[in-house]
Amino acid sequence: MNDEQEIKNEGSPRKKQKLVRRLLIGLCVFLSVILVAICGLWWYAEHLLGHIHYVGKEDTMSSQDIEDSMTDGLESMDPDESLPDITDLPTVSHPYGTDDPSVVMGDIVNILLIGEDRREGESRARSDSMILVTFNKTTAEITMTSFMRDSYVHIPGYLDNKINAAYQWGGMALLEETLKYNYGVEVDGSVAVNFSQFEQVIDLLGGVDLTLTQAECDEINRQFGVVLSPGTQRLNGEHALAYARIRKLDDDYHRASRQRELLMSLLDRYKSLSLVDMLSVLDDVLSLVSTNMEKRQIVSLATELYPMLSGADFGEAQIPAAGTFDGGNVQVRPGLKDWFQYNIDFVENRKILLEIFDAD
């Protein structure tokens, strides 16, 4: 019996060693699989991000080019029409002078979405659409704030003019600086897309669902010779873009509201896709956008903010807010007029923005 017991005792450490060896091998295989998966995901992320056009130091327009651009899209005046001259508008000064209080924005991320109406042969056009997407990580709220393109603001280092001129004159950097100077807005990064490219984005998603009024249908039908009826419609890129740019029916506030509605519909449409289709569409869409953010920043923000999209509360705002400005036609050149929002109460609009940025 003693001999048999000794043999059993000798076999026990061997079994333990084999068990430990198997566990180590299994752990190594498991870690190897995880490492390969991480490397694969990183490679795919690099592949996707490689499609984006990254904006470095942006060119600024010359004084002569700026002068020439200021006559684009102006309407002729009636000979008997009497309008205030643009030189009679007050110079836009910093709302707090040189003593600007720091803007505490809480635990938020601000991404500026820029839509430009660039025509063939143009290197950079005015920003026809400017929507600040605010992710409030404390309250799990996402707010889309439209900045009205016709707002008369100070463009740092340049002339007082419409805010949409800042992007054409100095790109994303100047537009971000303009928003900060006039409204105290800190932008974490900007993303731009040309409207012709925006059509492609919508078509890649298979269209978007929008609810149209009779007047909106009539306007789109008139432009394209189609027959749309009031109610919820799935529109292709061309028709959806026309919807977002309707302005003659009402005003720029309704136009900006349509643009935000289109973005929400795009998001809903994208979230409805399968994972495979999501990745396929993303692969094509990213090649159509430009940004001043770096790859590392995009990956960090995407990892942090994407989980918010499914359960966040969405809000919207427009700056300058109704009742905080004067508006009307102004003579900008002899015989030429344009519409402006001027005498903006920047202090009041900053208060509205701070409510959006407040993380309490």
Per DSSP, the residues of 64-78 read HHHHHHTTTTPEEPP
Measured CA to CA, the distance from residue 330 to residue 338 in angstroms comes to 6
Residue 104's alpha-carbon distances to 95, 108, 127, 252, 316, in angstroms, are: 17, 10, 27, 30, 20
pLDDT at position 102: 56
Contacts of residue 175, defined as CB under 8 A and 6 or more positions apart, other chains included, come to: 112, 114, 127, 130, 163, 166, 167, 190
pLDDT at position 3: 54
Measured CA to CA, the distance from residue 88 to residue 105 in angstroms comes to 35
Distance in Å from the first CA to the final CA of the chain: 77
- Write phi, then psi, for 334 (nearest 5 degrees): -55, 120
Reduced to 3 states, what is the DSSP secondary structure of residue 118? Answer: coil
- Whether the full predicted model's pTM is greater than 0.75, yes or no, is yes
pLDDT at position 46: 66
Contact 60, 174 (CB under 8 A): yes
- CA triplet 39, 44, 45: central angle to 5 degrees? 95
Measured CA to CA, the distance from residue 42 to residue 19 in angstroms comes to 34
pLDDT at position 125: 84
DSSP β-ladder status, 108-116 and 189-194? parallel
Residue 58's alpha-carbon distances to 19, 64, 153, 305, 339, in angstroms, are: 62, 18, 21, 28, 29
- Domains for the chain: give ranges and CATH numbers: 50-205+273-357 (3.30.420.590)
Residue 241's alpha-carbon distances to 23, 203, 227, 246, 354, in angstroms, are: 59, 11, 17, 9, 31
pLDDT in single tens digits along all 360 residues of the chain? 555 555 455 556 776 677 777 777 767 766 666 665 555 555 556 666 777 888 888 888 888 788 777 777 788 888 888 898 888 888 898 888 767 765 556 688 999 999 987 766 667 888 989 999 999 988 888 999 999 999 999 999 998 999 999 999 999 999 999 999 999 999 999 999 887 778 888 998 889 999 999 999 999 999 999 989 999 989 999 999 999 988 788 888 888 899 999 988 988 888 888 877 777 787 778 888 899 999 888 888 888 887 887 778 889 999 999 999 999 999 988 889 999 999 999 999 999 998 888 755
Give the number of other Cβ atoms within 10 Å of residue 47's Cβ: 11
Choose among 352, 357, 329: nearest CA to 88. Answer: 329
Measured CA to CA, the distance from residue 97 to residue 94 in angstroms comes to 5
Give the max Cα distance, the chain. 124
pLDDT at position 285: 81
- The label of the residue with tokens 């508006």 reads 327
